[in-house]
Amino acid sequence: MKVGVVGIGWAGRQHLDAYANSEDVEILGLAGMEPDLLAELQAEYAVPHAVERWEDLIALDGLDAVSVAVPTFLHAPITVAALACGLHVLSEKPIARNGDEGRLMVDAARQAGRVLDIAFNHRRRGDIAALKRVIDDGTLGRPYYAKASWLRRAGIPSLGSWFTNRDMAGGGPLADIGVHVIDYALHLLGEPKVLSVTASTYSELGPQGRGGGAYGPQGAGSAFEVEDFASAFIRLDGGATLLVEAGWAAYRDEGDVMDFRVYGTDGGAELSRVGSPADAVESLHVYTEDGDHDPEVGPSLGHQGVVDDFLAAIRAGESEWGRHDGSVALGRARIIDACYLSAAEHREVQL
């Protein structure tokens, strides 16, 4: 299978590594705007074609699939064009700036009859997979309340860059890291239907130039136009509720925290991942009437798991491609849209 990667930042390099570690895959092309880095990566991964324009990459003869790892405002135009060329597409999260753009991508995948997948790498973590097995086997009974978060103390990515420009990013931490939280929470809970959301967003530190920390240098060219903290109360079909918090910056402990707590009729569980991305400490505890225990946690697959699943979906053949059209990611975008509307209008929003 011949693949290409659009984007040579951190995310693009994760896709490159994963493809390079996959059997029977050739990285045919690479597109990026930084000439020196593009040349370096072309040599490192022995890529035959390195181009500046993504339009030139998706036009390469023999290309089967492409990864889209660029700023969010480019997800929809590149994905729709690639699908129209008959390519399968793996896009970084979120699917797009909003649900309307996401719908264009899903419709394009359906019209083209090709796979569209979105890179939700955190659901491929070992602790998430272990807790998923616990919930699915009925150990906790019926989950009725869950709380999930991703919080940083000083983690605004590149103040003044596209990340903090509303038109380019679509939103702040709710759209950037909160989409991961919503994804793994609903995944763990068995994909219940979301009925309504009540959300609040805050922009307190970013406009003052605070909260950048180690997640990128101060950029130039854009005011801080998005939130730096968000909270959402989500009502689920069947009576359960989910509370989500996503924050780039807040006066709290230094280390990032990603967590998930769930209370069920027969038990509960607490999962946490604390520390910097490079050295985070994971823990998972399950509590029941019969005793408490810590389930065995396997390795985290990360972007390798994302790419493996993408390639497997393509290789499964046309009869299976329709099951991978980006619909789940579109649902996440619709939830985030509703959260932003709720925060703006100070009311509950029905989905």
Domains of the chain, residue spans: 2-121+304-324, 126-300
Q: Tell me the whole-structure pTM to 2 decimals.
A: 0.96
Task: Copy the structure tokens of residue 184.
Answer: 């793994």
Q: What is the pLDDT of residue 160?
A: 81
Task: Copy the structure tokens of residue 216.
Answer: 């990128």
| Mean pLDDT across 2-22 | 97
> How far is it, in rounded angstroms, from Cα 115 to Cα 107?
11
Q: pLDDT, tens digit, for every residue of 144-156?
A: 999 999 999 999 9
Amino acid making up residue 55: E
The beta-strand segments (E) located in the chain are 2-6, 26-31, 49-51, 65-68, 88-92, 116-119, 143-151, 194-202, 229-236, 241-247, 257-264, 267-274, 281-288, 349-350
Q: How many CB atoms lie within 10 A of CB 2?
A: 16
> How far is it, in rounded angstroms, from Cα 37 to Cα 228?
30
Q: What is the pLDDT of residue 236?
A: 98
| Mean pLDDT across 264-289 | 93
Confirm if 232 and 179 have CB atoms less than 8 A apart.
no
Task: Copy the structure tokens of residue 270.
Answer: 């607490």
- Burial-class residue 259 by CB neighbours within 10 Å (0-12, 13-18, 19+): middle
Q: What is the pLDDT of residue 217?
A: 56
> How far is it, in rounded angstroms, from Cα 81 to Cα 115?
14
Q: Which residues contact 277 (CB under 8 A, 6 or more apart)?
A: 256
Task: Tell me the pLDDT band of 212, cut-offs 50, 70 and 90.
Answer: confident
pLDDT at 311 over 60: yes
Task: Tell me the pLDDT band of 209, cut-offs 50, 70 and 90.
Answer: confident
Q: What is the pLDDT of residue 220?
A: 55
Q: Which residues, in sequence order, are bridge partners of residue 236? A: 194
| Mean pLDDT across 114-122 | 97
Task: Copy the structure tokens of residue 344.
Answer: 């703006």
Task: Tell me the pLDDT band of 255, cut-offs 50, 70 and 90.
Answer: confident
Task: Classify domain 126-300 by CATH architecture.
Answer: 2-Layer Sandwich (3.30)
Q: What is the pLDDT of residue 258?
A: 96
> How far is it, in rounded angstroms, from Cα 175 to Cα 136?
28
Q: Which residues, in sequence order, are bridge partners of residue 92? A: 119
Q: Which residues, in sequence order, are bridge partners of residue 5? A: 30, 67
| Mean pLDDT across 299-322 | 97
Give me the phi and psi of 48, to 5 degrees please. -65, -35
Confirm if 130 and 297 have CB atoms less than 8 A apart.
yes
| Mean pLDDT across 218-236 | 86
| Mean pLDDT across 281-289 | 96
Confirm if 265 and 141 have CB atoms less than 8 A apart.
yes
For residue 181, which of 332, 351, 311, 14 has the smallest C-alpha distance?
Answer: 332
- Burial-class residue 302 by CB neighbours within 10 Å (0-12, 13-18, 19+): middle
| Mean pLDDT across 14-39 | 98
In angstroms, the Cα distances linking 61 to 12, 112, 156, 291 are: 21, 18, 40, 59
> How far is it, in rounded angstroms, from Cα 282 to Cα 177?
18
Q: Which residues contact 110 (CB under 8 A, 6 or more apart)?
A: 322, 325
Vertex 101 angle, CA 69 and 190, to 5°: 80
CATH number for region 2-121+304-324? 3.40.50.720
Q: Is 114 helix (H, G, I), strand (E, B) or coil?
A: coil
